[in-house]
Structure 1
């Protein structure tokens, strides 16, 4: 089930705009995406066979995140 508190937090962050965002919010967005993917069969089927690595380089902050997605596990 999608965590409604997390969903509200992400919606509030989006409404606040990019200037108010923290790089760590990115991980929360990925967590929300993961939860939605676990509940939505179409999205789940689309992601089942994917094996991808994503690099996000945030240039205005001293932070980098690596995210590896394998078998719907983050």
Structure 2
């Protein structure tokens, strides 16, 4: 007897796919919340939050010294 399981839900501990990352980027451009994106993708809100943090950097400080500009980023 064969089983025909076509469960496409992501399993716990799997990485986000490239297409999911692209969807997150698109949804954020539409100003959707992390929780709304998580519901749409069937993922945890924390997973979405971590992916956004990992994929973006915020400028922390900019310093100009002796004609050179130094920019520091926060990860």
Q: Same fold (TM over 0.5)?
A: no
TM-score under structure 2 length normalisation: 0.28
Max Rg structure: 2
Return the structure number with greater relative CO, CA threshold 8 A, min gap 6.
Answer: 1
More helix by share: 1
TM-score under structure 1 length normalisation: 0.29
